[in-house]
């Protein structure tokens, strides 16, 4: 804690609220503030209405995260499901009869959202420079190939999982005003998108708190004892 105080000269903590939202192009334009000083500033009234409105029947659920850290600290959060998948088979020969067996190769697949941020407040506390790293992964269910026949090779091939993982990664550094929702970025998510598929966009809101109740009280100097003459 003292290292942060000495380096940044303050006792500020920074809270970052992140929202990954599925939007179509027209919906994104409706959320952005008109005649804003910079691109990406969100109209707060429209954002509040959008967040509080009941979701449509065909709406895709997004992701949310909230982190609080010291000014200049790097923090990370990860959420989602982890699944195991058999991705290959390694032939193994052993025994007196030199029989052949197969050892499965199992891989861990992470599905969900991950976020890493490093916020640095300026002296006035009105703006924050934030380094953002985002990753969202979705596992699509793929039917296994079914081979006719009872051959050993066909049985092995049909037991191998071949999951299709869709991943969106975003890394950037930007300067954002405190207390305003900002569009960080986004892009097409599907590998083969259609005209009706929404895109995944990341929005962040940054808030600063000034903590002054944990300052160490200066120690009173001890008075040297008087020496009698």
Q: pLDDT tens, 2-21?
A: 555 555 555 789 999 999 99
pLDDT at 140: 77
Which region among 17-26, 61-70, 138-147, 169-178 has the lowest average model confidence (pLDDT)? Answer: 138-147
Is residue 216 assigned to a domain? no
CA 2 to chain centre: 28
Is residue 224 assigned to a domain? no
Fill in the DSSP letter of residue 189: -
Distances in Å between the alpha carbon of 21 and those of 84, 99, 133, 216? 27, 54, 16, 43
What's the rounded Cα separation, in Å, for the pair 189 and 32?
Answer: 21
pTM more than 0.85? no
Count of the separate structural domains present in the chain: 1
Query: Please, are residues 140 and 130 in contact by the beta-carbon 8 Å criterion?
Result: no
SS3 155: helix
pLDDT higher than threshold 80 for residue 141: no
Is residue 110 assigned to a domain? yes
* pLDDT over 70 percentage in the chain: 76
Is residue 22 assigned to a domain? yes
pLDDT at 223: 54
Helices (H), the chain: 2-8, 25-31, 44-52, 152-159
Output the average pLDDT for the chain: 80
Is residue 29 assigned to a domain? yes
Is residue 91 assigned to a domain? yes
Give me the mean pLDDT over the 184-191 stretch.
84
Domain that holds residue 46: 1-210
Question: pLDDT higher for 1 or 167?
Answer: 167
What's the rounded Cα separation, in Å, for the pair 187 and 168?
Answer: 8
Is residue 215 assigned to a domain? no
Is residue 229 assigned to a domain? no
Distances in Å between the alpha carbon of 216 and those of 3, 8, 50, 213? 14, 17, 45, 9
Give me the mean pLDDT over the 179-204 stretch.
86
What's the rounded Cα separation, in Å, for the pair 120 and 10?
Answer: 11
SS3 107: strand
H or E stretch covering 139? strand 127-140
């Amino acid at each position: 804690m003292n290292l942060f105080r000495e380096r940044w000269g303050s006792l500020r903590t920074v809270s970052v609220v992140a929202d990954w939202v599925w939007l179509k192009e027209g919906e994104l334009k409706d959320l952005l503030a008109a005649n804003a000083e910079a691109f990406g500033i969100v109209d707060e009234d429209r954002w509040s209405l959008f967040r509080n409105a009941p979701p449509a029947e065909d709406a895709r659920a997004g992701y949310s995260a909230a982190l609080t850290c010291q000014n200049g600290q790097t923090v990370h959060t990860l959420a989602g499901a982890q699944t195991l998948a058999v991705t290959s088979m390694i032939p193994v020969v052993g025994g007196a009869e030199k029989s052949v067996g197969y050892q499965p190769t199992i891989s861990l697949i992470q599905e969900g959202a991950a976020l890493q941020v490093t916020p640095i407040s300026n002296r006035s506390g009105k703006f924050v420079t934030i380094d953002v790293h985002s990753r969202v992964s979705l596992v699509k269910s793929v039917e296994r190939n079914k081979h006719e026949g009872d051959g050993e090779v066909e049985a092995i091939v049909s037991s191998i999982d071949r999951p299709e993982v869709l991943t969106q990664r975003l890394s950037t550094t930007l300067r954002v005003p405190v207390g305003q929702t900002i569009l960080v970025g986004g892009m097409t998510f599907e590998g083969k998108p259609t005209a009706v598929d929404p895109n995944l966009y990341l929005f962040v809101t940054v808030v600063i708190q000034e903590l002054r109740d944990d300052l160490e009280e200066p120690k009173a100097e001890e008075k040297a004892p008087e020496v009698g003459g």
